[in-house]
Structure 1
Amino acid sequence: MNAVSHTPAGGPKPNPRTLAVDCGGGGIKSCLLDAGGFQLGNAIRTPLRYPLPPEDLLGIVSSHAEQLGSFDRITMGIPGMIRHGVVVYTPHYIRKAGPHTRILPELADAWDHLDIEGRLTTSFGVPALVLNDAEVAAAGVVSGQGSELVITLGTGLGNALIDEGQLSPHLEISHAPLRWGLTYDDYIGEAERIRLGDSAWSRRVLKAVDTLWPVFRWDRLYLGGGNSARIRPAIREQFPENVTFIPNAAGMNGGVRAWALAGRAAE
């Protein structure tokens, strides 16, 4: 993989340009952000082809970087359990043909505890920050006051908990059991939305949110992700007043503020 030209390392930059990469189950989106988090030019999206070893994903990022131009750091949001830039578990990329298909043992091994943050830093020669994709989205919308929970609805359910402007340890709510032996991903993921239709699926989302309230008792809940726009207006009106709907673009626009949320604003 050839590294794109970038600003050489040598200390924090006063107005860094950030390459923001949003990794989904169906595609990889990238854009450049200025120091204020505003997008510079158009984003690039590449649909995923499965199976997807780590080298393929990194190759897509390299291709995007070459097209977008120079940058001083990278922010990547990736689904699954990410700790300190290491992939503890990712649910989609270890499968033969994408979400809900058979797990390939060799792919599971390739992704298991992969230091993807380190790989990005080595490949591009700039600091990198890799978080769960919902955590990057959270950075683009939270106020930094009180307990704020962000839930993203897409291929599955993503989540991030922010306490007074700082990331809390990540929990994979998506894999928790909900009802009928189903997880949250099973109950309100994209496959069920397609099967049920938007109206019935919207009612399920409302029920799922109701089950999470006793666990988190948030000051503010943000609902985002590509499928949040599909929640029917009549169901939206039934959500409590402390629930805010956010645009899907937050997944990329949070690429700047994510550094502060993660306590790495000086890099």
Structure 2
Amino acid sequence: MAATPFGIDFGGTGIKGAPVDLDSGDFARERERIPTPRPATPAAVAEVFVDLLARFPDCDGPVGVTVPGIVRHGVVHSAANIDPSWIGTDADALFTEATGREVHVVNDADAAGLAEVRYGAARGRSGLVVLTTLGTGIGSALVHDGVLVPNSELGHLELDGHVAEQRAANSAREREDLSMEEWAGRLTAFYRHLERLFSPDLIVVGGGVSKRADEFLPLLDVDVEVVPAALRNKAGVVGAALHATG
């Protein structure tokens, strides 16, 4: 019987983790949360991971970790919203050594995309699925027939002469006090741009604001089907565990 994988979602305010049942796509045990250290350097975060894993002594499966940055072959290459010391860090090697476990890191939006395709809003859908997370920025994941195309970073596309996430992220709606109609106009421009570039079969909208999807998704004027994410705040942990199993 395969060991149960463990997922860790590394966020700006909290680090959450739980063993994951890959049959159901749900936590095998109740998750634990530890506040993100300040500063959140790789070494400080590694210490939190050791503490987190120690709370599940009987869980010895592979460990997957989300990172809010570009990840190539286990190395972090960007740090827009985390400590700059992450850039160039071989996070796979660092966390594997610190924890004594097999650890694999993955971009946080990519993890959510994997989870939504396997268990959530895009389950059973073939072709190209684009997941976008609308939050402080816009994260994205491209999954084609179940295979992840990593590090798409579609929130960094140019939109109306601006970086798209500066105009269309949920933080822009809050910062500029936009109505849902005004924000939906900007999202329509963003998603139409994605349509022209990728011709996706489905767009899944995640992020905390997705719980208000009925207030803005019907206002979008795009041809592609757009649906809200289903896994909510479980997506990172579940997707990380899924990634760890290869």
TM-score by structure 1 length? Answer: 0.77
Does the Cα contact within 8 Å between 2:37 and 2:45 map onto a contact in 1? Answer: no
Q: Does 1:159 align with 2:140?
A: yes
* Structure 1 segments unaligned to the other structure (5+ residues): 1-13, 95-107
Structure-2 separation of matches of 1:112 and 1:241? 36
SS in 2 for 1:158: strand
- 1:119-158 maps to which residues of 2 (within 5 A)? 119-142=94-117, 143=124, 145-158=126-139
2:207 paired residue number? 225
1:215-240 deviations in Å (ceiling 9; x for gaps): 11111111112222234x24322445
Q: CA deviation at 1:193?
A: 2.9
Q: CA deviation at 1:39?
A: 0.5
Does the Cα contact within 8 Å between 2:138 and 2:169 map onto a contact in 1? Answer: yes
Does the Cα contact within 8 Å between 1:152 and 1:224 map onto a contact in 2? Answer: yes
Structure-2 separation of matches of 1:210 and 1:55? 41
Please, which moves more after superposition, 123-132 or 198-207? 198-207
Does the Cα contact within 8 Å between 1:88 and 1:112 map onto a contact in 2? Answer: yes
Larger helix proportion of the pair: 2
Please, which moves more after superposition, 157-166 or 236-245? 236-245
Q: CA deviation at 1:208?
A: 1.9
Does the Cα contact within 8 Å between 2:134 and 2:209 map onto a contact in 1? Answer: yes
- 1:176-255 maps to which residues of 2 (within 5 A)? 176-179=157-160, 181-195=161-175, 196-197=177-178, 199=180, 200-231=182-213, 233-239=214-220, 240=223, 242-247=225-230, 248=232, 249-255=234-240
Q: Across the two proteins, how many residue pairs are aligned to each other? A: 232
Distance 1:257-1:134 versus aligned 2 partners, 3 A rule: same
Distance 1:115-1:176 versus aligned 2 partners, 3 A rule: same
Query: Which letter maps to 1:168?
Result: V
Kindly report structure 1 stretches of 4+ aligned residues shifted beyond 4 Å.
none
* Structure 2 segments unaligned to the other structure (5+ residues): 118-123
Q: Which of residues 53, 57, 60 is equivalent to 2:41?
A: 53
Structure-2 separation of matches of 1:223 and 1:157? 10
SS in 2 for 1:129: strand
> Identity across aligned pairs (percent)?
26
Query: Which letter maps to 1:81?
Result: I
Q: Which of residues 2, 5, 17 is equivalent to 2:4?
A: 17
1:98 paired residue number? none
Structure-2 separation of matches of 1:44 and 1:245? 26
Q: Does 1:33 align with 2:20?
A: yes
Q: CA deviation at 1:159?
A: 0.8
Distance 1:255-1:60 versus aligned 2 partners, 3 A rule: same
Please, which moves more after superposition, 237-246 or 143-152? 237-246
1:5-57 deviations in Å (ceiling 9; x for gaps): xxxxxxxxx32212211122332221111342320222223343543211122
SS in 1 for 2:29: strand
Aligned residues: CA RMSD: 2.3
Distance 1:49-1:230 versus aligned 2 partners, 3 A rule: farther
